[in-house]
Structures are given as structure tokens and as C-alpha cells.
A and B are shown apart, each in its own frame.
Chain A
Amino acid sequence: MRPINHTAPKRSAAPVFWLLFGAGGMLSALFGPALIILTGFMIPHGWGLPATFGDFPHVLAFARHPLGKLVVLAVIALFVWHGAERMFLTLKDMRAGKPRLLRLVTYGVAGLLTLVTASLLLAIGF
């Protein structure tokens, strides 16, 4: 008889990435279409909004407000993490490389973009 293994099983980091993927998927499913209509069509072409709506002072004020910062960080970071997880799974299924490498590249890009977003939001000031 073999002795019972008393060491705890190694914890996986997968749930963390799965959570980011799910949060990004849900946020984009609920508000994504409206956000694209807003920033892609209405604000640049002035549809239904005053011309000053997307100008420098107003958008800067939004990005300087703590709540505005939270919105910008949540939208950009979670959207990117969602896309990274899907890109990773697709590339893994296509056997584009070793899963470890694919994970490093896709999660790496998402992590880097999250850091850049957070740094820019801090650099823009309060």
C-alpha cells in the first residue's frame, strides 16, 4: 500500500484568468454595443450630442474623475482580458504553438495593456 499523500494539491491560476474573461464578456455583452455606437459614431460625428461633448477639456475632466478612471480601467482592461483568453483558446485549438508560449503571449499582451492603462490614468492626474 502506498502512503497517503498529505501535501495539498497545487493550486491553479486558471480561475483568475477565467474570472477576468467572464467579467469582460459580461461587461461587453451588456454595454459594448452602446459604447461602440457612442465613441465610434455619435461622438465623432456629433449625432445627437453637442459638438463639445468629446472635446479635450470634457474628456480630460472625465478621465481625471475617480469614477471616470474606474470606468475607463474596467472597460479597457476587462475587454482586453476577454479577447486575450479567446485568442489563447483559439490559437491553442489551431495548435499554433505550445500552450505555455501561447498563454505567455496572449496573457502577456493583456497584462501589459492593463499596466499601460493604469499608468496613463495615474499620469493624467486627479
Chain B
Amino acid sequence: MSERRPFHRLQPRHWWAHKPYRAYTVRELSGVAVAVYGAILLVGLFCLWRGQDAYAVYRRILASDWSFVVHAVLLAAVLWHVVTWFEILPKTMPKLILRGRQLPQRQVTAMGLLIALVCSAALLVVVVAIGAMS
């Protein structure tokens, strides 16, 4: 019987909390914040279904200081998700060739961020306009 003893490199216990892996962990968890926000909306939908009283409670909670802090943290996390998402995009998509030259990754990222800014700003403008008209 052969005695096989492969080499296992030692890895610190919480390697994901230390450099250089920390940035990767933060990026992944900023994506989880997206799901947390989705869950907050789902609770709102549930209260809406329960009726007027439950929905009033939900609105009161959303207007509280706690909710303000939670949403501020979520906003920061999702903004980081936006930045990292468009940093990854040029690495995962097919090469963009314009007039025989490959479009630099930084330009793809910048374009994505610009489109995201336009989309978010447009949504806010449309909602405020609807609010002003009603």
C-alpha cells in the first residue's frame, strides 16, 4: 500500500477577512446587500397584502431612524456593488473591437457606470415628475 501524503498549504482560519482576500469578500457581500434590500421590499409587499393596519406599521418603521441608518448602509453597499459590477464586466464579456482596436477595459467600466448613473437618475426624475403631476 502506497502511503500518499500530499502537501497541504496551511491557510489561516479567517483568510477571507485579511488582505488581499478582504476586498473580494467585501465585494461579494455587497451583492448580498442587494438581496437584503429585496427582502425589505418583500416585507412591505406582505404588509400590503395583510391590509391597511399592517401597512401603516410598515410605513412607520420605514420612517424611523433605524430604517434610515439601515438604508444608508444598504445604499453604500449597493453603490460599491455598482462600481465593482462594472469593473468585472469587461473581464467577463467578449472583447469589444472598434475599428480594429480593442476597447480598453477602463472605457467599458466608465461606460457602464455612466449608463447606470443615467438609469438611476432617470428613474428618480420620472417618479418625482409623476408625484408632481398627481
Contact = CB atoms under 8 A, between A and B. Distances in A.
A72 interface: yes
B76 to A, nearest CB: 10
A84 B120 contact: no
A105 to B, nearest CB: 13
A78 to B, nearest CB: 8
A13 to B, nearest CB: 20
Interface residues of A, number: 58
Contacts of B79: 33
A82 B31 contact: yes
- Scoring A30, A50, A120 by chain B CB atoms within 10 A of each residue's CB, the highest score goes to A30
Given A40-B71, A45-B63, A94 B16 contact: yes
Nearest to A32: B78
Interface in A31-50: 31-45, 48-50
A40 B121 CA distance: 16
B31 A86 contact: yes
- Scoring B35, B56, B81, B123 by chain A CB atoms within 10 A of each residue's CB, the highest score goes to B35
B91 to A, nearest CB: 14
Interface of B: 16, 25, 28-29, 31-42, 44-46, 48-49, 52, 55-56, 59, 62-63, 67-68, 70-72, 74-75, 78-79, 81-82, 85-86, 112, 115-116, 119-121, 123-124, 127-128, 131-132, 134
17 contacts: A25-B31, A25-B34, A28-B78, A29-B86, A30-B116, A30-B120, A32-B82, A33-B120, A34-B123, A41-B71, A45-B63, A56-B52, A78-B38, A80-B38, A83-B33, A86-B35, A117-B45
Interface of A: 24-26, 28-45, 48-50, 52-56, 59-60, 63, 72, 75-87, 89-90, 93-94, 110, 113, 116-117, 120-121, 123-124
